[in-house]
């Protein structure tokens, strides 16, 4: 995966009262969850940003009380797949 490097003031660690690695993880979580909630990125991409599996992401969404982005098109696609597998 290509990486994008962003610089934040060191004082952010003090503000958040976290270590450098915890601050980086917090920033990744904020960005990934914000983009996911807005529908900009998928669940898988949010997990990739945070280094989490889809199952771990689903658990995090549950903890944060963020609804899963699942619409009628997703349902239809899943039903078609189910028909192919079972049919």
Give pLDDT tens digits for 20-79: 999 999 999 999 999 999 999 999 999 999 999 999 999 999 999 999 998 898 889 899
* Cα dihedral 31→34→39→44 (10° resolution): 50
CB distance 64 to 33 below 8 Å: yes
pTM of this structure: 0.78
Going by pLDDT thresholds of 50, 70 and 90, the confidence category of residue 80 is very high
């Amino acid at each position: 995966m290509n990486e994008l490097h962003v610089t934040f003031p060191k004082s952010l660690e003090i503000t958040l009262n976290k270590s450098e690695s915890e601050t980086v993880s917090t920033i990744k979580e904020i960005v990934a969850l914000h983009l996911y909630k807005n529908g900009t990125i998928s669940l898988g991409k949010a997990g990739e940003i945070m280094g989490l599996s889809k199952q771990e992401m689903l658990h995090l969404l549950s903890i944060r009380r963020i609804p899963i982005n699942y619409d009628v098109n997703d349902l239809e696609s899943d039903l078609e797949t189910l028909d192919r597998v079972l049919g």
